[in-house]
Structure 1
């Protein structure tokens, strides 16, 4: 795939970039390893000071950075600006909390002083996706660099300007050179970077296929890896739920980032007593959304990231309908310029259809009818994915069963799934392994060293 900016709202190619040569890539990895030897010894208070300055720059430049993201991936301008502010929040959170999270942990052993000390590993490769081009990166970088590691970013090839802007803002915030670097390389180079002895760990957010490849490469080299992969999150609605609230949140969650988020609600599992009413309201609300120019403040849903994304989603919808699903609304790609797909609702999802087994990465909601609570849990777990999920009920006994029995890394009650620095983030099953954010963030890419001082 070419490293290029293509405006999804028009389909126009705006700018292209040359990939690093083998010599340039080697030099960048060496620079990262060299920078690590100095960065690891920078006092935590100084690292925190730099991250607070970086947070202020992100807040000050949010609109400029947001425009870049909107041009490269088509996300609405308002959501792009909000994403940059979220990155600033993450920087401040780890500036304020990482030092305590990484403090020595004492252990009670008679006659000795014993502790666990967290020491950084070295250069960490981050393989990041295009859909949240800033947040995905800072979600890794803030805790990993506060722990004393250095960062190497292999960003998606359709967001080179976002990738370069991130490196630039680190430098302008006063971070030492090469502590954080962007690598403009293709996916074929990832295994080579993982195999390099100077690179000590890897984190990936992306597809299941990409996760398998990265995990295999990291395992071969016996290196730490974290994977955040796809999701097909259940959104369970039971009769006690407030339908107005449930429908409103269903629409917001399903169309977040133009429907292109791993933690979008995708499978709406509704008790039969309220299924008809919920489906009708959901269809009406989705049909009422405004699709258009992502820079227009009145736009609810912008374009998908690429023409291929539209083709894939359209084929999945068509195949699901052909298998017997009901098309409630939408289902026809835009005919003009740009990569647009309308908000769509499918119901009566057949077993084995794409909507049943695959992740639909776009503004398409799939509705299942559950006969009772047991059936709702069965349907929720009938997926290879297990990233997040949300349940909508005011019955405490139902809440407890759903929380206990739905197989996901995250479950939200009467709130749709989201990520925030204070809360651990990650999945189960084919949605990956490892955790990011909260205290897991700084402790992921460290050596938890046992220190035993006899007679101490």
Structure 2
């Protein structure tokens, strides 16, 4: 099958390539299987040398990688550079801390000695999305490599050169052949890779639909898996919130990466006493965001990645307006190939797509509530549970609300984000398992009990 990669800014074909055939996939599986014994036998210090070299290569070639990211998925250049640095920092972090996370854990029992040890599983197969084409990969790859696993990557079809650039960085770092490989394949072949006995675990970041499919296949073949899926994160603004601080973060949280972020704030749940002023300031700030060339330093809103996804988003917006939502800003496609302006819907209510569904693009849903209790109820009234934030001048109050929100991560007076030092993942239809921190490196290990009488 031939695939076209279209530049989201220009609408022109950026690149064409063909899916790999069965013979090429078999070769990649064989190389990964052959590389595992030697890679896993290295000491942590020896693996850390390679992982730090990967970080150095990423930083050395950051401009070239950023240009690829911008061309393939439309990411603003400054956001691309920040993503590359974050990925390199994750490599450095795990190189420094994996020894602490993987040391034997003594457990007192009646035995002479009893403890837990951590052993790598083998080959981890990753199915990764386009929205953070470098960070999403390193979020699993850095801990997987330090743990002694090897990896195969099926990246999104519209970011093939991002995948190849990552592979090149590992080659430049001297990582042995077979430790990491890229598969340019479709979903049918991906299912066969999951089923292959040489693959021992699966990780996916993507939509709920993709997660159900991949998790089902992994389950049929008894493969451990981690699923990081969609989100419709609540941004809860209480009556005592500091709007000077809240509104700028609301803008960043909704419109960074053109709103194409699983942990972006999507539902702005605002209590009555502050709603009018929040909305006024929010609209005013969002109106300053203008789509432009992602390579230009002054551009503050990127195009969406694909025209078909823009049309899906606009259909959700139209249905919400027809159901009674009030368009305050934007809410109509731009003139470019996949351009959609910063948009705000007010008076969003249950039964509207803007309330019930994930809007994966630069559209904010404002939901007005009477008080804190209703804010918590509405925040939890979703099938998703990835991230959430609470805004209040009273930190103790904010922490209390955060404890009542059903999500994998809750931030008080701060932007929801992934941090290599903290576990990342969701609950409900946002998936299961954790990435990052100590929890992430343990996901793809055999947690082994050793008992000596």
1:78 and 2:78 are equivalent in the alignment: yes
Matches of residues 116-195 of structure 1 in structure 2 within 5 Å?
Answer: 116-195=116-195
Mapped partners of 1:22, 1:179: distance in 2:
20
**Residue of structure 1 equivalent to 2:435:** 436
Q: Does 1:388 align with 2:387?
A: yes
State which drifts further: 283-292 or 358-367.
283-292
Matched residues in 2 for 1:171 and 1:453: separation? 42
TM-score (norm 1): 0.98
Aligned to 1:421: 420
| 8 Å Cα contact 2:349/2:367 also seen in 1 | no
Provide closer, same or farther for how the CA distance between residues 207 and 390 of structure 1 changes in structure 2, counting only shifts above 3 A. Answer: same
Equivalent in the alignment of 2:281: 281
Segment drifting more, 226-235 vs 279-288: 279-288
Contact 1:4 1:159 in 2 (8 A): no
| C-alpha distance in 2 between matches for 1:342 and 1:2 | 31
Provide the C-alpha distance between the structure 1 equivalents of 2:229 and 2:149, rounded to a whole number of angstroms.
23
- Residue of structure 2 equivalent to 1:67: 67
1:365 matched to which residue of 2?
364
Alpha-carbon separation, structure 2, partners of 1:425 and 1:396? 22
> How do 1:290-369 and structure 2 match up within 5 A?
290-335=290-335, 337-369=336-368
| Structure 2 gap ranges (5+) | none
Aligned residues: 453
- 1:45 is matched with 45
Does the CA contact (< 8 Å) of 1:2 and 1:157 recur in 2?
no
Q: Which portions of structure 1, spanning 4 or more consecutive aligned residues, are displaced by more than 4 angstroms?
A: none
Q: Give the equivalent residue in structure 2 for 1:261.
A: 261
1:158 CA drift (Å): 0.3
The match for 1:20 is: 20
Mapped partners of 1:441, 1:400: distance in 2: 25
Q: TM-score, normalised by structure 2?
A: 0.98
Please say if residues 19 and 185 of structure 2, whose CA atoms lie closer than 8 Å, have aligned partners that are also in contact.
yes
Q: How far has the Cα of 1:24 moved from its partner?
A: 1.1
- 1:401 is matched with 400
- d(CA) in 2 for partners of 1:164 and 1:113? 47
After TM superposition, give the deviation of residue 400 of structure 1 in Å. 3.3
Partner of 1:339, secondary structure, is coil
CA distance change for structure 1 residues 111 and 449 in 2, over 3 Å: closer, same or farther?
A: closer
2-structure distance, mates of 1:263, 1:128:
16
Residue matched to 1:219? 219
Gaps of 5+ in 1: none
SS at match of 2:23: helix
Shift of residue 179, structure 1, vs aligned partner: 0.3
My pick for the range that moved more, 147-156 or 56-65, is 56-65
Separation (CA, whole Å) in 1 of partners of 2:354 and 2:84: 32
Q: Is the 8 A contact 2:154 2:182 kept in 1?
A: yes
Residue 401 (structure 1) shift: 2.7
Shift of 1:309: 1.1
CA contact (8 A) 2:331 2:343 kept: yes
Q: CA RMSD in A?
A: 1.0
Q: Secondary structure at the match of 1:40?
A: helix
1:244: which partner in 2?
244
Instruction: Provide the secondary structure at the position in 2 that maps to 1:308.
Output: helix
